[in-house]
Structure 1
Amino acid sequence: MKGTDKALCLCPATAEDLAFARELTRVNMRCYYTRYGLIWQPEAFDAQWPVRESYLVRKGGLSIGFLGFTVEQNYLYLRDVQLVEAYRGEGVGGWVMAYLSQMARDRGYSSIRLKVFKNNPATGLYRKLGYRQVGEDAALTWMELTVQPS
């Protein structure tokens, strides 16, 4: 699948991409897990891989991140958007989220839901993109974007 930025694309992930996605998630999330006293469980990540729809984020032929979500009754549930640190701050996250919104519209879903650690800077991006807070717990903010039909 091609994106609007000629250098960026989302490519369906395969079982061979699991190790990359798992390690990227572990590295990116370790500070949040430590802060909230959580324990990273790679086997839990692996068990969820087959039930998620996952895509590699590629730039110029290089894997720089991944997107993972599940399809629920009438919404997409965003499980992961992970980017290699060197590619953050370049608009890639916004591009991925816009792509996900278009995907939800094209498939006829009414919303996208996600949970994000409260101190994660991505919260600001989600708010900027129109996501609203719909709940929270000690560590996470629950957010939702209503998807307008095409």
Structure 2
Amino acid sequence: MAFQLQAATSRHLAFARTLTHQAMGNYYRQYDLCWSDAGFDSAWAGRENWLICRDDQVLGFISLSRDPKALYIRELHILEGFRHQGAGSWILEQMALKARTEGLGLLRLTVFKTNPARRLYQRKGLSIVGEEDCFWRMELECCQ
């Protein structure tokens, strides 16, 4: 059972918003941040969004942006019942390949300091390169 990416559209917005809110809600409360559906929706509209699938099942989604140097993972969420099955590792490998293919030197993301996903990111080669309040900034060099 291989994983695949499928382009997400506006009809997947409610799924992505709900999954993100469920996955990040505890961190927002922990750090006294305010969740905004409108903010999420606005960000979604300006990003490249993909569903993470296995066979006909949607497991989660990833949301991307770019600048001239880097591919940014803005959101990466897997439904709870599908975590720890390799989808996260697979998607990080795919995004590193995508960055290299597009001639971008870096893969970057930001993660809450208390989010255990940080360990996965580090296992996949991303390093902590900075911090902002409750976040670690992480990156991976994607040389060609």
Gap runs ≥5 in structure 2: none
Equivalent residue, structure 2, for 1:3 = none
1:30 has 2:25 as partner: yes
Gaps of 5+ in 1: 1-5
The answer as to 2:109 corresponding to 1:110 is: no
Query: Could you state the TM-score of these two structures normalised by the residue count of structure 2?
Result: 0.97
Q: Which runs of 4+ in 1 moved over 3 A?
A: none
* Matched residue count: 144
What residue is the counterpart of 1:81 in the other structure?
Answer: 76
1:41 to 36, 44, 63: 36
Query: Aligned pair 1:120/2:112, yes or no?
Result: no
Structure 1 CA distance for aligned equivalents of residues 46 and 53 of structure 2: 22
Counterparts of 1:1-150 in structure 2 under 5 Å? 6-149=1-144
Q: Distance in 2 between matches of 1:86 and 1:54?
A: 21
RMSD between aligned residues: 0.9
> When the two structures are superposed, what TM-score results if normalisation uses the length of structure 1?
0.93
Cα shift at 1:137 = 2.1
**Distance of 2:67 and 2:42 partners within structure 1:** 18
Instruction: Give distance in 2, aligned partners of 1:59 and 1:128.
Output: 23
C-alpha displacement of 1:81: 0.6
